[in-house]
Structures are given as C-alpha cells and as structure tokens.
Chains A and B, each alone.
Chain A
Amino acid sequence: MNFFEQQDIARRNTRLLVLLFLAAVLLLIILTNLAVAAFMWFSQDYNIYSGSSERFGVFLANFSWTRFATIGLAVAATVAMVALLKWLSLSSGGKVVAETMGGTRILPGTLDPAERRCLNVVEEIALAATMPVPPVYVLNEESGINAFAAGLTPADAVVAVTRGTIEHLKRHELQGVIAHEFSHILNGDMRLNIHLAAMLKGITFVGDVGHILLRSSNRARTGLRARDDRVGPMLPLLGLALWLLGLVGAATAGFIKAAISRQKEYLADASAVQYTRDPDGIGDALKVIGGYIPGTLVHAARAAEMSHIFFGEIEHRLWNVFATHPPLHKRIRRVDPDWNGEYIQRKVMHYHNRPANARQAAEVGVGRAALVAAAFAAVHGTDSQVQAGEQDLVDADFGPSPDELEAQTARRKDIPLAFVRHAHEPLGAHALIYCLLISRDESVRQAQLDILQATGIAGLTELVHTLSPGVQALGAPRRLPLLEMCLPALKSMSLEQYRLFKRTLLELIRADAQTDLHEWCLYQLLRHYLDPEFVQVKPSRPRYAKLQKVAYHLRVVLSVLAHEGSGETTAVFRLGADELGFDTMAILPREQCGVAAFSKAVHELADCYPLLKPRLLKAMALAAGADGKLSPVEREIIASMAAVMDCPVALAEPGEH
C-alpha cells in the first residue's frame, strides 16, 4: 500500500467535501433569505391585493435589491452569530475535554506497566511525527477499545485512551492506534470538526426559529393574542418554510459532515502507517476490535456528542450515511488489501480485581500512614528504624531506580524518605502542603481538619492527620525545599481541583482568624508557581521607574525583614536602606509591620520597572545575610517576595554555611 498516495486522495476528498459543505450552507442562507423576503412582501400586500391574480407580478414590481440584501445580511448575521456562540462553547482545550470525559492523566512516574508502555509509545510516535509529546489520559472505566485526541492546536492537544486499549492491545497495535490519533492532531481535524459543528448549529437554528413560529401561530389561533391581522395568517406558512429548510439543510449538512469525518479517518489510518512504517500495527488493531466483544463502545456521559474525535465508532448506528467512521472492514481493506476477512479473536480481559477508585485511594492513604509513622519516628532520632524502612523499600539489585533516586533526594535535602515519596504523587503532595498550614493550637487544628474533611477527598484528612506532626518537626529550614518538591505533582491537578485546592488553602489560613507571615509566604509561593499552569496570568504593568516613589513600601518591607530575621534589627535595616541609597530612612516600629501592610507593600513593589526588581531583592538578601547567614525565615520571606514580584533571585543553599 502506498500511504502517501492514500493520504493525497483523502486530503483531496476532504477539500471537495468542505467546499460542498460551504456551498450547502450558502444555499441554505439564500433560500432562507428568499423565504423571509417573500413573507415580508406577501404579508404587506396580502390584504390590499387579496383576490388579485397578479400577486406575483406585484411582488416582482415591488422587488428591490437593497431590501433583499438587507434581509440577506440579517439572516446571515443571525446564523453566523449562533455558529460563533457554538464555536466558543466547543473550543475548550484538550485537557478540559479529556477530563469531562472522565480521563485521568498518566503521570510520568507511573508504575503500572500498561500505563508505562502507553506513555513510551506516545513518546515514540511523537518522534516519528516530529511533534511535541502531548499529555496522555486514560479512561479507567471503559473496557472497550477506543482512543481520542482533543485540543485545537498541537500545543494544547492531549491523547486519551481507554483502559481496554492499553491492556488488551499488543505493543505494535497500540502504536498504530496512537499514530492514528497523532494524525488527527497534525492535520488539524479537531479544529475542522469544531468549525463544521458550529456551522451545522447555525443551520439547525433556522429550523428552530421555524418551529417556534409554527407554535406561536397556534397560540395566536387559540385567541391568546391576535396581534396583527395582516401578519397573522402568513406566520405559520413562514414557520413551516423555515422549519422545512432547516430540516433539509441540517440533514444535508450533517450528511456531508459525516462524509468528511470518514475521509479524515482514512487519512489518519494512512498516516498511522506512515509514522510506524508498519501496516500490521493499525491493521491488527482494527482486526482485534472486530473480534472483541465490547468493541469500541464508550459509555462516558459526554462521549456521544464528541463521537467524531474517537478512534472507532462509540455507539451502534442504524444508518450508515451519518456514521462518523467508515465500516471496520473497509478500513482494514485499505491498510491490508490481502486481508482474508477474519478478525483476531483474543480472550477478553475481565476487570474484577479493580476496586472502585475512591476506596482504593482511601486504602492507599491508610497503608501509607504506617510508613509515615515510621518516618516520623525517624525524625526524632531513632535511626535504626529508618534504616529498616529503607531496606524494605529500595530494590537491592537495581541501580538508579525511582525508589533509589527518591532515597538520594531524601538524604540530600534531609527530609524523611516517606515525605519525598508523598511529595511525588498528587494526594500526598496536597496533604504535605496542607500540613505546612496546620496549627499547633489544638482547637484551631481541629477546625482545620474539619475544613479538610469538608473537601470530600477520600483519605486526605487521615493523611494530613498522620503527616502533620512530622512536618512540624521538620521546622522552618526544610519547609521551602519540601514545598518545592511538591510542585511537580501539584501541577498535574485539573483546573477544578486547583480551584478547590486554593480555596481550601485560604480557609486553612483563615481558620485562626489571623494570617501569619509564613502562611502568607507559602500561599504566595504556591500561587506564583502553580497559577501559570491553570489560568492566564496577567503580567504586571510597570509603574515605578524610580526607587524614591516606592520609598514607603520599601521601608515597610525592610522593617519586616529586620524584625523577623535573625540579625540585629536596626543594623539589618540600616544595611538594606544604605544599599538602596536611602540614608535618612528610619525603621518602622513592629506594630506597623503587620502582614497586611507587608503584603500591600510587596504588591506595590511588584509594579516597579523590571530592572529595579533584582536590585531591590539583592539589597534585601544582603541585609538579611548581614549576620553571616540567611535564616530560614529570611529565605522564605525573600523567596516569596521574589515570587510576587515575578523576579527570580539566587539564594545561597542553606547547607553551604
């Protein structure tokens, strides 16, 4: 099979069909236009000329192109408006689509062999297609063999596969399926589909208007309100015309759209062969689907409206012209012309031993609690125990395994191994961050645990409960490294989860009705590192070109640093102020250096011109380090200031004193 030739044919067919689709839309708009125009004239002239046999002649005589064009523009604008609205609602990023479909992201550190293999295959095909590696999602609840790609551009595209796919297919078949999805991404099929769907919506809208008119005339007849005697009798006719137009138009356009979708599937199959240079991969995958009882069915609630993006048909269809995918046997014949017509029968896997997700998470949480208890004991100096723990956990005969790497990190950063392990998976990372905020005061602590309970995340409260004494024992010096370690796992949250996470953080901070400096720092740091992953961050607008303009805010910040830091208060302040050229500036008393004032000052400083910021932060670091070392609290303050001001700063490692 020559796949380049097949790709050319599929592309040409697609172009023709898209033209046809556009022509159909245009024709429909013109016809609607005609119907509306005719209606306006007839309704005007109906009574005056009733009984006259020359009604049509009058119509022609009154005809003017300008009025016709005005009506045409109005109709076209309405249709375009509806299409635009639909387009906006459809064009969410790939991640959103995958998550609404119930997908969970496969993390790079996964230990499940099937997921590992799937990630590897995606990276392989990305190389073959010379494209960046997209995130991979798995639909754990689906046992049918199916996959989809979503997202409008290669940059925000994701690939999602069902659990059945990654467990049931062999490696080369999985390659074929993934390569097929990559073709959809590269050829911009998602974008085309959304455009077509939006236009289709515009067409059905014409029919909807007709329907409404038809019904409104019913109401008029029953005597609710006969507004306009002249217009009245004509309205249902117009409604009927529009309704019929919409019906026929939608059917035609839907038919063309399905045909385009089928061409795109052929193109993707041919491209799958190009990327893998192995027609058996995609061919065998299709044959396996043919012999597989669950087939390609997907049951996720939102799947039906997205049927066109899947690898195979997701539900049974009675009528082939509206199918978004070509029949299986035709697809197989195209990649494998010598096919003998037999599907591959493979024993169906059963998924008995997969516990419900929530329960599983809870069990993991409790299981880890024991591990954490051991680590906690280790912090207090029972070395033998942690030795034993590590022996159990690290594979003896395998060099830099992930476990070993974690152990190394633990030793280097002086953080218990169990914490490192938690920091690398989302639930644990959540718990660790919350632990940093848990108060030592018993009543506040209980209130905070209640807040966590209210989030409804299974196993979270228990985990926080067991972890928090250990985290508190770590103390200030290791808070910052712990937080940094949690960041990668936290980045894998969904947007919804992130919103909940931020809300919970704020509630925890406010549980004791006051905000400590260290809580403020923690929140600012997290916000700075995580926000860009989830929301569009507005860059600050530089307003202050000279330090003199922010003198008061500088004074506040330096005072806070002096009071909170380890050095001698006035000396620290003096050093910082002199460094910035404020010889006469005097330190503020402690009462005026609350967290609120500090926060406001730092946010004002964030609006300095970019070149001023490093100078500012350097002066801070210099002042704080005046006594020969940077205390952990000072580090935290400066790091979070740098985060708010969006200006990186290099601080000496704490271990280097």
Chain B
Amino acid sequence: MAISTIIFWLVLLALVIYVISIYNTLVTLKNRYLNAFSQIEVQLKRRYDLIPNLVETAKAYMAHERETLEAVTNARNDAAAALKAMGSGNVGGAEIARLASAENALQGALGKLNVTMEAYPDLKASENMQQLAEELTSTENRIAFARQGYNDTVMGYNSYRQSFPPVFFAARFGHPADASLLEFEDTAQIQVAPKVSF
C-alpha cells in the first residue's frame, strides 16, 4: 500500500474518533445538567421535610401566633403537593408555574415567621431552634447552589453545543436545542424592592 493511502486511512480514522468523542461529550454534558436539575428537586423536598419540625418547635414557645404558623404549614403543603405532581413525570409549563407560585407563598410565610420569632428570645436561644436554624440555612443555601449548579452545567452544555465543530453534528445527534437556564417566573417582581409595612 502506498504511503498516501495509509495516511488517508489514518486521517479518516482520526476523524471518526473525533466525531465519536463529540457525540459522547454531548451525552455526558446533557446527563450532567439533567442530574443537576433533579438535585434541585431533592433539595426542595428536604426543605419541605424540615418545615414541620420548625413549626413544632416554634409552637411550644409561641402558642398565640397560631395564624402565622398555620400559614407556613399550608404553604408548605401546597408546595410539596406541587412538587409531587411534577415528580410523576409531567414537567410542563403549568406545573412549573404552580410550583413557583407555591414556593413564593412559602417564602413569604417563612419570612413572616422569621420576623415574628424575633419577639421571642427564649425561642431563638433554644438549642433545638439553633440546630433547626442551621439546617434551614443550609437547605436554603443548597437550593440556591443546586439552581446555580444547574445553570452552570447548562452553560457548559450550551457552549459546547454551539462551539465550532460540534455545532454541525449536535442537531443530527439528537441535541437540537439549547437547554434552558432556570429563570424566575416573577422576574419583573424581583426588580421591585419588597414593601415593608407595619
């Protein structure tokens, strides 16, 4: 065989290997961001599991703030139900919207509870409450970090998909569109500073 033929086949082989590696990288990156998304759900669930403990602990000290506590419990139940509905496989726009609004309500209720708790120094000083506060802080962080981790992995996937050689193959290999970054439903609301009223 002539040298040129050998070189030709070698180059061809290298090209094939390169294309295979593009395919595999796309699959890896896609699975990575899907996994990152499921992490968010895991962390949301963790928070819903923690809240009943918080309410129970608070109850012992602030019996006559029943309304605030009930509001938290209800919001938590709504959000948990919304998450469960999503868990059964139907992730559509409507479900995400429902979860987002339930989450908003829960955030509001928790915020109000936090303000109310300021008036109960005994409660804040109790060891249980301090433990719970640590767990809650951690969970809030985890949710934020899980979201951010998801966005980072999506960025990795999208940049790879759009970069020069892969962009030719991506659509053919079953990666027709960019993954979407997590955004908040209430982008407009966030821009406005929260109102504080007494």
Contact = CB atoms under 8 A, between A and B. Distances in A.
Interface of A: 113, 116-117, 120-121, 123-125, 127-130, 171, 175, 274-277, 395, 397-401
* Centre residue among B36, B53, B142 by max chain A CB count within 10 A: B142
A277 B53 contact: no
B149 A127 contact: yes
A277 B148 contact: yes
Given A121-B138, A123-B142, A130 B149 contact: yes
Contacts of A123: 138, 142
Contact of B145 (A116, A124, A398): A124
- Of the listed residues A117, A275, A399, A401, the one surrounded by the most CB atoms of chain B closer than 10 A to its CB is A399
Contacts of B178: none
Given A120-B134, A171-B137, A128 B145 contact: yes
Contacts of A171: 137
B124 interface: no
Given A113-B134, A121-B138, A128 B53 contact: no
Given A397-B60, A398-B56, A398-B57, A128 B149 contact: yes
Contacts of B36: 130
Nearest to B42: A127
A124 B149 contact: no
Given A128-B149, A275-B148, 10 more contacts: A117-B134, A120-B135, A124-B141, A124-B145, A127-B142, A130-B39, A171-B137, A274-B152, A276-B145, A399-B56
Interface in B100-155: 128, 130-131, 134-135, 137-138, 141-142, 145-146, 148-149, 152-153
A175 B131 CA distance: 18
Contacts, number: 60
Contact of B53 (A117, A124, A125, A399): A399
A116 B57 CA distance: 19
A400 B135 CA distance: 14
Kindly list the 8 A-B residue pairs having the minimum CB-CB distance in the complex, ordered from nearest: A120-B138, A128-B145, A127-B145, A397-B60, A124-B141, A130-B149, A127-B146, A398-B128
A179 to B, nearest CB: 10
Given A130-B152, A130-B153, A398 B138 contact: no
A506 to B, nearest CB: 42
Contact of B128 (A120, A124, A397): A397
Contacts of B166: none
Contacts of B145: 124-125, 127-128, 275-276
B32 interface: yes
Interface residues of B, number: 25
Given A128-B149, A130-B32, A277-B148, A113 B131 contact: yes
A130 B138 contact: no
B148 A397 contact: no
Interface string B43-70: 1000000001100110010000000000
A117 B134 CA distance: 7
Contacts of B141: 120, 124, 175
Nearest to A111: B131
Interface centre among B131, B134, B141 (most CB of A within 10 A): B141
B128 to A, nearest CB: 5
A120 B149 CA distance: 16
Contacts of B39: 127, 130
Interface in B1-56: 32, 35-36, 39, 43, 52-53, 56
B128 A395 contact: yes
Nearest to A128: B145
Nearest to B129: A398
5 contacts: A128-B146, A175-B141, A274-B152, A397-B128, A400-B53
